[in-house]
Structure 1
């Protein structure tokens, strides 16, 4: 099963057959919405869709149930996640309606719990390459083949707390670092997907120039307008990525937790073991 997490502007699933809505309860609460599960096209590939912000965009970036979302997809059998994000551009050559598949993240969030572990168990997870390299290449190839949009493979996504947009000083600083995109939802989603040993990559649709550019004042109206324009290209990208995705995972994501548990098994409380069993049980 392949997971698809839809960001701003993506609130409905891809065209699926034999669709059902699945309510998933997790030890970390309820996900943003019931998960829509169905078979994609003629491939028969099972896809699980989850709108990150809820079906009517009711949830703010800081307060999203990131852990419940990732855990729910894990429980359903998802091994690879394709996601989408609406982002601002920090580079003149990445105008609105460009599709970028980033390969790096800079975390500027302040108030988010970024791990499934920590209460009775400590896991030190390597995160040098936050996105699955194989999925980044595949998703960019899909964007290039399935759309007429300008695309870029690779780049750094700086994740801010939000829900406010950047100050001009912040935006100019991010740009001066050579970063490419600014958004609000890459973290902790990417970290949690890695802890769940799931491949994860995102296609980011540029909606604005943030506020570093002279005479640029990012507004919700501009963001929503360009997010709507990006929706078709993003869905075509994800659809083509699913159609052409190799059956085997050509990466190390599937055993990312190997050698990362720093707490002896006998020291992990029983209730903690039960809560994280679906994630790390094989290593305890």
Structure 2
């Protein structure tokens, strides 16, 4: 089955509620099997992947990021809208706020970061703008149109997890001028660029980081904030799908051109 646009749902986003005529497909890739929900909205074919699985059974350090991105590439979807639950490193990035990410810092340790392991050549992908600038611009416009509480930019630092960060780590990341912290956006954003896909992430602030927060963090707190704000994420994404054309006017589609593989 083919798709025009893909959604990758993170913590709290486990189903594509507004899609019609949904069908599930277990898609085989060279990196593993991926459960894809196909449906349609506003006359566009949409594919949905729950990053952690339907029941949130896969921790962030064990998500098969390569299989997920390969599956999206295989069904010919060229644009990806992703969600991510994040902790805030700044008092003005409040729980419940959305952040349209524009940069990341990778602090993970043992993940599969690339499709280019040498068998298919070597590629050094440019990540000056790691998130598709055109898709980001349209997310910003849509967020303004819908009167959402959001930030136009944010630097995301990705940690290995699955534990939460210490107050010392949070202080360090804040001093590095990072804005939010999470456990899943790397290597997903890198792999999407290697496959020459347009990719953007809307992060939802679910809590303040340790040392900023006045109480110990729990997964329940993260899930509850996501649940309370999931309507806004869905509204934003489906507004985007309805108004997004399928023409690509960015450089994402040429990211691996010098390798000549795609």
Distance in 2 of aligned mates of 1:84 and 1:214: 22
SS at match of 2:23: strand
Q: Which residue of 1 aligns with 2:181?
A: 182
TM norm structure 1: 0.88
Distance in 2 of aligned mates of 1:155 and 1:137: 14
8 A contact 1:157–1:181 mirrored in 2? yes
Distance in 2 of aligned mates of 1:115 and 1:55: 25
Structure showing greater Rg: 1
Note closer, same or farther for the CA distance 1:14–1:254 as it changes in structure 2 (3 Å cut).
Answer: farther
Structure 1: stretches of 5+ with no match in the other structure: 262-279
Q: Which residue of 2 aligns with 1:144?
A: 144
- Show the 5 A alignment for 1:17-166: 17-31=20-34, 34-40=35-41, 43-120=42-119, 121-146=121-146, 148-166=147-165
Note closer, same or farther for the CA distance 1:135–1:215 as it changes in structure 2 (3 Å cut).
Answer: same
TM norm structure 2: 0.95
Q: What is the count of residue pairs matched by the alignment? A: 258
Structure 2: stretches of 5+ with no match in the other structure: none
Higher strand share: 2
Aligned-pair distance for 1:214? 5.6
SS at match of 2:186: coil
SS at match of 1:182: strand
Q: Does 1:5 align with 2:4?
A: no
Q: Which residue of 2 aligns with 1:200?
A: 199
Distance in 1 of aligned mates of 2:255 and 2:6: 18
Identify which of 15, 20, 24 aligns with 2:18: 15
Distance in 2 of aligned mates of 1:23 and 1:102: 30
- Residue by residue over 1:115-168, the C-alpha shift from the partner in whole angstroms, topping out at 9 and shown as x without a partner, is 01114221111112110011111112222322x431111110000000001111
The alignment yields a C-alpha RMSD, in angstroms, of 1.3
Task: Flag as ranges the 4+ runs of structure 1 deviating above 3 A.
Answer: none
Distance in 2 of aligned mates of 1:127 and 1:62: 22
